Structure 1
């Protein structure tokens, strides 16, 4: 069997004939994303930030209104989830940390070096918290941001006033967000499950063609999102929620379709149009919540892969319309999280024992300590903006620190142009309310386009709120730019250049781990079984392993895409290794396809053959770990007689991966 080799486009750093042409990593950050504008979020942001100002002016307390709007700004930035329950966590939990942060900052305001020490310690805790997960990362960010604001700006007395007002702004955003819950409570989850079906339909439509691998990646992302939304609560909840059980069963019956897709793709011929259309019909039934059995007209299967696809599709058609699936026949082990208490204990333990967590906490503490020490020794106007800039930029989990520093400087400059026009032309008072509504609506719209765009949108909002607190007007512009540049410089030197891990990439280790996972997945997929009970257990373990490895490969892709935005040598090395990421994904696809063929009549491979391929993969992983040039990796020819084996495509993909890793293919 032979398969056509396809090469994914690599966003490498080509040579630049014109020295004035910006580098590719910078252009990538300045290029707006194709993500759609969240219009509902834009409307919520306009209401959330302008209404508190209007109330403040009406009560003749504009400073209080500005503080509530500041809290609302944090809620607007943190409202990034889809499911309503996750949105509660994403907004409410960080607000609690933000309230603690501003209270601590207020208590050390005006205390000189005591404030420096306190903010440095808070930065250490904030950095370590950020390593736990997404919600914790935003919580740590808001803890430090509000502490810096509280320590740098005079807040109303007593000390609890500012935390109360900021929290009120965040809760106002949360209330606006939850207005649609009674009408659309399950819509985000259903839409995610339906989106996974549509992604599978697209991949089946592209099977045998050059766009299949890109569509297969979209399937992985869609499945990750759907499982995260549906199983994003404690395990005990699903037993009392028939709608959740139904969505979970619809997701689980999609897995055999996902597994059959690589086998169909390896044939090299497109599928009949009726098959993708049938999957899209199931997607529509999932999203609409229909219970009628869809009438599918499917062609007669003619090969092992088509039989696997036909069986999976017909089984899905019987499960999707069930209004009340059997609670005891729904397996949620493919992605179910542990209980909340267990996850909390694990997260705290991992944070305290993780070297990466301590390294990031120390990096952030060093930069904040330097920023606060500098502004304590040198007279810098609006000095708290220096530490604010450091906090925003030094977030490795948000992307490349280097490119974020550069993009923040550019975005701030653009935002200051808009802020200058507002502060010079708009009189302070009621005119600030409609102006704030317009500027606030730009934040979700611009945030969807990229970090530089988000910075450009947030800058005038922060300056307008600062003007209401300090009444400095146009005089805020120059110190804002200067402080941002100082903060970016501190981050680049103390948070990036002084830490070799920043510019000596570790992406090879992450990729080596994925290759080892591919070897284990191969062994598990073709492990011998003694009886029917062992066969069912082995199938369940294989499904769990497949979900884990595809999720891991998705994470590896994200890590490489982040590294591509770094300047040389990190970006150049990531671009050179990117084809190997694609090759490892193809190895996993070929393994899945081989397992599907065996399930539907093909002869299983000999254990010795499985062991040989697994050994080759582990050799490749060892080469990735031990040598940046992979000098010990060589192409292994296909063993005699292996051309007729069900694992022949796997042999070919492994050989292709090892060929990519040869020294003469490296930079």
Structure 2
């Protein structure tokens, strides 16, 4: 019997979304690395008679464990090593101003500004900025043992220990993560083909979204690998060719779905067969048992699958003939220089940097004028919570408070019942694996796992026992309050979702894609890159939408109003691709006048989304030849314009 909440006690949707754990598998190697990397320094410190040194190294290992999220070994070097260097700079700067009053306040606030601007460059830069600020706060608020260079050396050494453990299997598993990612992309395509023509609500749309995410991750992984190579290895060349080969299958899927007839089960089974060959590195004859295709869509799928099978089976691929679907990436140093220059000149980077600096400066001023035990935890809380690229600020503040309370329950039991000394090693061996195990479940779970670890290490440094519990709770709540007040409620950006602006850009890109799909002079590879970028942008819009739904009213309610239009734009892209596939396999091409007319409707829709004061009416002249291949596209464009028209419940309308 289902449990029902009494009227008035039903939790709001935004709260349920915040508290719902995310589904994820446990990364067992990461769990094992965390147990060793965070326990070993503590044991060595105890054996050497300097447990405080061991605690500092374990803190560094904790930051390495948090950054140990990449699959590819080369990416692990970037994800762990580079942030550790920034962390070393942070702890050095913080220790230099420790005990210097307002100088420390000014220094940490300045570091917060730089950290915030760095965080907008990319994922690795975001973690680097996080560690730069975190360690500077720790250094400014906590006296470091030994000479000035020892603390950064110990903390960096702890983080690099995680990297060393992660790279131990590299000689035996080189290239395996990349092959696994490409094979996973093939399997998501198999699921997409199995969903074609399905009557299950949302089955095809969810499968296509999963394909987009998987292809994005696979291309990012392989292209990041390639960008650090002066030449192309045979393995890398084959992976790029295999990724490119599955793209025509993805392009044919919308046509198969719109036909309304499910594909024979042998079709998705064939893709699973190809995925197995990719993952094992098999080259040789691949016998695909495909039925005879019936209709334009089935012929498109059959043709694309046979081409993919040829590429997967081929032992030799010409590297000069490969053109990846996202374009040729620039060298790593070039991309870094561009990103750094963009962050320095970007208004968004300055806004976020100033937002973070304002909150940190206020926190440092508060704890400098009002006695607050363990006051550096206030700034640490702000640093963790005020990370918009990590998710909703409001959600993180809420989950931080709840996770801290849960973690303090565990910490209270440890600090009150477990004797200090070698028992700490046993406890750390149990607590450390929880960090990578619970982090994918959500920020609240991560906070609950990290809190007892941090308190155990802090007690090793200052021996305050359960006296750490109440200050930790008070400081965390103060930090959350500052973020919610200054960094959220009083910050105009917090009350506006970014879904609309990004969706308007995607609609404008969809207009250009419609023109390119049926343009006579468009290079097929350029068309494929445009489609991939468009799907990637729509995936970002979906992510932003899911993030906005966790905000309380009115922001979450406004975001929910965008959802029908997000789905409509995705369908426009699907139908355009399906029409292109039909033309390629025998359907009559549309006239350029018809294409230009539909593209105009999309451009008007994009302008209307950017400026809610400009309300374009629903066009009644979206007509054309009844047997045109673009008839489904006209219907989808008309539906999208109807959603955003006056009188509808469109976002931003009165």
The answer, yes or no, to whether TM exceeds 0.5 is yes
Q: How does 1:222-621 map to 2 (within 5 A)?
A: 222-235=214-227, 237=229, 239-332=231-324, 334-529=326-521, 538-621=523-606
Cα distance 1:18–1:633, how it changes in 2: closer, same or farther (>3 A)? farther
Q: Deviations over 1:310-332 (max 9, x none)?
A: 11111111110222211222223
Q: Counterpart of 1:232 in 2: which secondary structure?
A: helix
Q: What is the match of residue 129 of structure 1? A: 118
- Structure 2 CA distance, aligned partners of 1:458 and 1:85? 27
- Structure 2 CA distance, aligned partners of 1:654 and 1:607? 17
- Structure 2 CA distance, aligned partners of 1:49 and 1:626? 52
Cα offset, 1:504, TM superposition: 2.1
- Structure 2 CA distance, aligned partners of 1:328 and 1:27? 52
* Aligned counterpart in structure 1 of residue 29 of structure 2, from 17, 40, 45: 40
Deviates more, 1:563-572 or 1:370-379: 563-572
Cα distance 1:655–1:238, how it changes in 2: closer, same or farther (>3 A)? farther
Q: Counterpart of 1:334 in 2: which secondary structure?
A: coil
Work out whether residues 325 and 528 of structure 2, in 8 Å CA contact, stay in contact via their aligned partners in 1. no
Q: What is the match of residue 6 of structure 1? A: none
Cα distance 1:441–1:633, how it changes in 2: closer, same or farther (>3 A)? farther
Deviates more, 1:342-351 or 1:584-593: 342-351
Work out whether residues 404 and 451 of structure 2, in 8 Å CA contact, stay in contact via their aligned partners in 1. yes
- Structure 2 CA distance, aligned partners of 1:291 and 1:632? 56
Q: Does 1:656 align with 2:639?
A: yes
Cα offset, 1:234, TM superposition: 4.8
Q: What is the match of residue 61 of structure 1? A: 50
Cα offset, 1:507, TM superposition: 1.9
Cα offset, 1:637, TM superposition: 5.5
Work out whether residues 227 and 335 of structure 1, in 8 Å CA contact, stay in contact via their aligned partners in 2. no
Deviates more, 1:517-526 or 1:21-30: 21-30
Q: Does 1:632 align with 2:623?
A: no
Cα offset, 1:306, TM superposition: 1.3
Work out whether residues 409 and 488 of structure 1, in 8 Å CA contact, stay in contact via their aligned partners in 2. yes
Q: Counterpart of 2:69 in 1: which secondary structure?
A: coil
Cα offset, 1:335, TM superposition: 4.4
Work out whether residues 403 and 444 of structure 2, in 8 Å CA contact, stay in contact via their aligned partners in 1. yes
- Structure 2 CA distance, aligned partners of 1:38 and 1:240? 30
Work out whether residues 624 and 631 of structure 2, in 8 Å CA contact, stay in contact via their aligned partners in 1. no
Work out whether residues 91 and 152 of structure 2, in 8 Å CA contact, stay in contact via their aligned partners in 1. yes
Q: Does 1:205 align with 2:194?
A: yes
Q: Counterpart of 1:382 in 2: which secondary structure?
A: coil
Cα distance 1:236–1:385, how it changes in 2: closer, same or farther (>3 A)? closer
Q: Deviations over 1:131-187 (max 9, x none)?
A: 000000000000000000000101013111000000000010001111111111111
Work out whether residues 98 and 143 of structure 1, in 8 Å CA contact, stay in contact via their aligned partners in 2. yes
Work out whether residues 91 and 132 of structure 2, in 8 Å CA contact, stay in contact via their aligned partners in 1. yes
Work out whether residues 234 and 340 of structure 1, in 8 Å CA contact, stay in contact via their aligned partners in 2. no
Q: What is the match of residue 10 of structure 1? A: none
Work out whether residues 431 and 453 of structure 2, in 8 Å CA contact, stay in contact via their aligned partners in 1. yes
Cα offset, 1:19, TM superposition: 3.3
Q: What is the match of residue 647 of structure 1? A: 630
Q: TM-score, normalised by structure 1?
A: 0.95
Cα offset, 1:333, TM superposition: 5.4
Q: Counterpart of 1:253 in 2: which secondary structure?
A: helix
Cα distance 1:454–1:219, how it changes in 2: closer, same or farther (>3 A)? same
Work out whether residues 29 and 451 of structure 1, in 8 Å CA contact, stay in contact via their aligned partners in 2. no
Q: Which runs of 5+ in 2 are unaligned?
A: none
Cα offset, 1:17, TM superposition: 7.1
- Structure 2 CA distance, aligned partners of 1:268 and 1:596? 16
- Structure 1 CA distance, aligned partners of 2:525 and 2:108? 49
Q: What is the match of residue 118 of structure 1? A: 107
Work out whether residues 230 and 244 of structure 1, in 8 Å CA contact, stay in contact via their aligned partners in 2. yes
Work out whether residues 498 and 544 of structure 2, in 8 Å CA contact, stay in contact via their aligned partners in 1. no
- Structure 1 CA distance, aligned partners of 2:314 and 2:229? 20
Work out whether residues 323 and 525 of structure 2, in 8 Å CA contact, stay in contact via their aligned partners in 1. no
- Structure 1 CA distance, aligned partners of 2:228 and 2:550? 42
- Structure 1 CA distance, aligned partners of 2:7 and 2:33? 45
Q: Deviations over 1:56-110 (max 9, x none)?
A: 1110110000000000000000111111111110000000000000000000000
Work out whether residues 57 and 156 of structure 2, in 8 Å CA contact, stay in contact via their aligned partners in 1. yes
- Structure 1 CA distance, aligned partners of 2:467 and 2:246? 59
CA RMSD of aligned residues (A): 1.5
Q: Counterpart of 2:313 in 1: which secondary structure?
A: coil
Cα distance 1:30–1:291, how it changes in 2: closer, same or farther (>3 A)? same
Q: Counterpart of 1:331 in 2: which secondary structure?
A: coil
Work out whether residues 623 and 633 of structure 1, in 8 Å CA contact, stay in contact via their aligned partners in 2. no
Instruction: Count how many residue pairs are aligned between Structure 1 and Structure 2.
Output: 644
* Aligned counterpart in structure 2 of residue 168 of structure 1, from 149, 154, 157: 157
Work out whether residues 228 and 335 of structure 1, in 8 Å CA contact, stay in contact via their aligned partners in 2. no
Cα distance 1:235–1:43, how it changes in 2: closer, same or farther (>3 A)? closer
- Structure 1 CA distance, aligned partners of 2:416 and 2:334? 54
Work out whether residues 196 and 226 of structure 1, in 8 Å CA contact, stay in contact via their aligned partners in 2. yes
Work out whether residues 499 and 545 of structure 2, in 8 Å CA contact, stay in contact via their aligned partners in 1. yes
Work out whether residues 129 and 136 of structure 1, in 8 Å CA contact, stay in contact via their aligned partners in 2. yes
- Structure 2 CA distance, aligned partners of 1:429 and 1:118? 36
- Structure 1 CA distance, aligned partners of 2:397 and 2:631? 48
- Structure 2 CA distance, aligned partners of 1:637 and 1:264? 29
Cα offset, 1:510, TM superposition: 1.1
Q: Which runs of 5+ in 1 are unaligned?
A: 1-15, 530-536
- Structure 2 CA distance, aligned partners of 1:138 and 1:555? 20
- Structure 2 CA distance, aligned partners of 1:238 and 1:508? 41
Cα offset, 1:393, TM superposition: 0.3
Cα offset, 1:631, TM superposition: 4.2
Deviates more, 1:237-246 or 1:556-565: 237-246
Q: Deviations over 1:445-480 (max 9, x none)?
A: 111111101100000000000000010000000000
Q: Counterpart of 2:23 in 1: which secondary structure?
A: coil
* Structure number with higher relative contact order (C-alpha < 8 Å, ≥ 6 residues apart): 1
- Structure 1 CA distance, aligned partners of 2:230 and 2:629? 39
Q: TM-score, normalised by structure 2?
A: 0.96
- Structure 1 CA distance, aligned partners of 2:455 and 2:13? 32
Q: Counterpart of 1:602 in 2: which secondary structure?
A: coil
- Structure 2 CA distance, aligned partners of 1:351 and 1:597? 43
